[in-house]
Structures are given as structure tokens and as C-alpha cells.
Structure 1
């Protein structure tokens, strides 16, 4: 069987998660897809996929080969478009990911504006509160909030956000404003595991650093629930500044302990490192970077 076809089948199986869906996408029969993967593994002399009745998963060799496969297929696609003079036209499907709250508040409106400017682009926005493996999950670009570990990804910084405590004016009128982190021990706390996973807050001032244990009255794992509880006057919580900036401006929420907040955390666009960047991705990066920077500035506190 043709080597290129085998690689296209291997890529499609990993993109779709099944032999049957890959066959449908490639307009091949399921047995032909099975034969292609078997031929590829036999030729390479390694097992690329492990199969159970419930799911497919990549072996270590399969993960390495998939990265190379996608890089090669991307370069072939680029070469074909260059030959017919289409390399400068952003087109095709783009998959972008971010955290759930950022995806809803910032990324999805931005992607819609990008599509209005580039009508030949289709897009998927994947909002998940976990780190997505861009190569394994066939994602073109991600918005990452926080310090980045060393990796093979290309990064472009677009701004920063702050972790900040806040509560409703009604709650603070009832219980008073905390003046020091230790005062939080006597307040009703709403824990949000996304920014305070260990129930401990490390704070800093101009002269000192410290930490305080937080004992939440209520603990949740999503930002919307934490915000709803704070807006209802149930207590003090912590979230990222972009999540609450509009509520603060509308005086529905009030920030507290601002003199003790940790350093801001960076926000980056990240994407896999390839020798050639597809026009659709380059167009999105150029479109998104300045707009994300402007929006993060607007949502700063």
C-alpha cells in the first residue's frame, strides 16, 4: 500500500478516535482502513496503536510517529497549495482551545470575528479546564494562562492576569473588609480549585511573603459557580481578574486584600513547532494576538 496513504489513514484514525469514523472521513471501507494500519505497523516493525473494545490509544512509538506524520502531511499540503498559488489564502478548519471561562468570555467572540474577516475558515473552539496535548488531540493553537513548562511548543505572550480576592458589597457590609490574609480565617470562604487547589494562599507584600490556610465553607471546581456564590453574598472567593472585571466595574463585586496579591500570571498563545506554518494558523495568530492583548488590558483590575 502507498506510504502516504498509510500515513493519512493513521492520522485520520487518531483524529477521529476510531477506524469506522476514519473510514467515513476518508471515504474508504473499514476493512481497508484496518489493512492500512496493519501494513504500516508491519512495514515499520512496531505497534503504533493498542486496541480494546472501548478505545484506541497510541503507544510511545505511535506518539512519535504521529507527530512526524502530521508535520509531513502539513508540509505536503503546503507544497500543493504553493503549486497552485493558494498559500496566501487562509482557508480550512482551525481548532483552538482554552479554559472554559476564557473560552466563553474571550476566545469564542474573537474566533467569530476572525471568521467574519476570513469566511473560508471553519473553526472548533474547545473549552476545557485541563491542559490539552495539542499534537495528540489535533489542536492547532491554544490560549494558556500561567507559567509554561519547557516544551517543543512555540509561544507568543499576549498579556497577563491577576489572581484576586473579591466579595459582594452586601457581604462586606455584613462581615467587614479583611485587612490581612489571616482575617480570612474568620470569613465565609468560597474555594475555587482552579486557582487555589491546595486550600492554601501564598501572599506577598513589598517587604514580606507568607501563606495562610483557607478553610472553605463551600468549595467548587468551576469559576461560574464561585462567581455566582460570591454575587449572591455567600462569602469571599478568588478568581482571575478577567473573570470579574466587568462585575467590579458594575459594583456588583468588590476586590479585597489588594496589597497582598501574588504576581500576575502570563497569558500565551501556543502552537506546535513546524517548519511551515499553515496560512490559516498564521492569519489567526496575527489577528488574535493584538486583540487578546487589548481585551486582557480592558479586563484588568
Structure 2
């Protein structure tokens, strides 16, 4: 018996809570079902079920393995259907990652629409500013603000953003002049930081990078806190354009030093080669592209 068939047996036993019932459902003998589970347990070197004379139940390892098995079997079914040209509705678990604030502002509304339209899909959202490995974390789709560095990734651009320097009108009304990046040394600075690198802001002048070393008055590892401090008139900060788009549009923050803005960064929707043809992945990527392409701030 191959691994995939054994996984199918395992999933059925877990679903029905009985070796005998699983055997009947799969048109197999009870001993064959027992052998399939024993084979998996040997290969995994762990027990998948607690067995008593009256009932069986999953071990902790079995519960974790069942989640992976369901995803693998669903992916195989979707992949085979796609190759055969059969149109299936997306189903199963979709794992999505995106930067924290971008995920909250842009990706979560897309997930909500996707879940409404496809009731057989569950979504696990991982909002994280650190780049996660798609293979190690079983991520299906990643939205990243950078170009992919791994040739094994399938990516397409859905917009772009860039770093912008902002402050409140109240702060600027009483602050020293601000016409060049060097003038920042005379200002109160608010620095979004993970505290792992020296505080530096990079600007572009005549095609060259100008690095300004900072002495921030306020450093914080949460962008929302830095934005709130800037809105309150405490000082100047520098963030991704999408993070302060609403505040700039409302007039709470003003874009300064625009002529020195850094290069634009692409927003990429990324999946592993081989997974991009799964129906749940194809459909979700389509939703992301369609939604973000309509956003005039990301695609001016």
C-alpha cells in the first residue's frame, strides 16, 4: 500500500472513529486498514491513535498529522482535477501570509470576500513583517513588498509602494525648515524599528543613495504607534506609503521631502511552483490581483 492510500485510510478512520467502519466505507478488509495505520505509525515513528477495547481516539501527534493529511489529499484532488480539465470549486485550507499592517488594511478584506464566495474553504492568515519560508510553514500564498529572491517561487506584481517621510501640519508649522534630508538632524524624529540595526533613513538624490544617520526621540517596533505619535505632532517619521495613505488623504499627515523618495518597491503575490495551479490558490490569487489592481493608491 502506498503512502497516499494509507493517508486516505488514516483520514477515514479518524473521521469515523472506527477501523471497522472505515474498512466498510473504503471497501477494504479490517486487517488491511489496521496494516495501513501500522505502516504509517512505523514510518512516522509515532502512535497516531490511542486504542482501547471500546473506542479509538487520535493522539496529539495524530491530530497534528490529520490536519496535514487533509490538506495534502485535498491538494492532490484539486491538482488531478485541474490536469483533467475538471472545474471544481475551491475547498480545503488556504494558508496566506502578508506584512502585518498591509495584511490588516488590504489582504483581510480580500480574505473576507473569498470566504463568503467559497464556503468550503478555510483560511489561516499569518500576518508577519518577517519573511517566512513558504515550504517550512506550508504557506500557499504570500503577499510581499519586495522582489522574490527564490527562483522556485511563482510571482506576479499587483502594485507598488515606497518609503515616504511624513509629519503633521501642526508639527511643521512650528518646526525648523525642512528642504533636504540633511535638515532632519534639526528635527524631532520618530523611528519605526525592530532595534536590530542603527537608525538610518535612506533617500535618493540624483540617482544616488543618501544615508542619514538619526538620533530618534521615539523608537517603537509597532508602526501604528509611530503613526499615532506623528499624528499627535510629536515629530517626523518615515514609513511605507500604504501605511500612511489614509492619514495623508485626510490631511492628518503631510508628505515631505517627496523629491528625495526612495525607489518604488513592487507588491508581489507569490506561491510555490506546483501549487499555483491548485484551484484554491488560483482563485485567491485572482481575487488579490483584481482587488489591488483597482486600488488607485497602489496603482496610480
Under a length normalisation based on structure 1, what TM-score does the superposition of the two structures give? 0.74
How well do the aligned residues superpose, as a CA RMSD in angstroms? Answer: 3.6
- Indicate the residue corresponding to 1:94 in structure 2: 94
Match of 2:42 among 33, 39, 42: 39
How big is the shift at 1:299?
Answer: 5.1
Give 1:71-86 correspondences, 5 Å limit: 74-79=75-80
Whether 2:152 is the aligned partner of 1:149: answer no
Whether 2:174 is the aligned partner of 1:174: answer yes
Cα deviation 1:235-268 (Å, max 9, x = unaligned): 1111111111111111100111111111111110
- Structure 2, unmatched stretches of 5+, are 20-34, 46-60, 62-67
Task: Output the CA distance in 2 between the equivalents of 1:183 and 1:33.
Answer: 71
Q: In 2 relative to 1, CA 165–37 (structure 1 residues): closer, same or farther, beyond 3 Å?
A: farther
- Indicate the residue corresponding to 2:193 in structure 1: 193
Task: Output the CA distance in 2 between the equivalents of 1:121 and 1:71.
Answer: 14
- Structure 1, unmatched stretches of 5+, are 13-22, 43-54, 56-65
Whether 2:204 is the aligned partner of 1:204: answer yes
- Indicate the residue corresponding to 2:221 in structure 1: 221
CA contact (8 A) 1:202 1:209 kept: yes
Task: Output the CA distance in 2 between the equivalents of 1:38 and 1:116.
Answer: 38
Secondary structure in 2 matching 1:175: coil
Cα deviation 1:63-100 (Å, max 9, x = unaligned): xxx9xxx88973355337888x9643222222211011
- Indicate the residue corresponding to 2:277 in structure 1: 277
How big is the shift at 1:147?
Answer: 2.9
Give 1:1-301 correspondences, 5 Å limit: 2-4=2-4, 39-40=42-43, 74-79=75-80, 87-193=87-193, 197-206=197-206, 208-274=208-274, 277-295=277-295, 297-298=296-297
Which structure: larger Rg? Answer: 2
CA contact (8 A) 2:74 2:91 kept: no
Secondary structure in 2 matching 1:88: coil
Task: Output the CA distance in 1 between the equivalents of 2:130 and 2:274.
Answer: 24
Secondary structure in 2 matching 1:298: coil
Q: In 2 relative to 1, CA 250–276 (structure 1 residues): closer, same or farther, beyond 3 Å?
A: closer
How big is the shift at 1:39?
Answer: 2.2
Q: How many residues align?
A: 262
- Indicate the residue corresponding to 1:61 in structure 2: none
Q: Return 163-172 or 278-287, whichever deviates more.
A: 278-287
Under a length normalisation based on structure 2, what TM-score does the superposition of the two structures give? 0.74
Q: In 2 relative to 1, CA 33–203 (structure 1 residues): closer, same or farther, beyond 3 Å?
A: farther
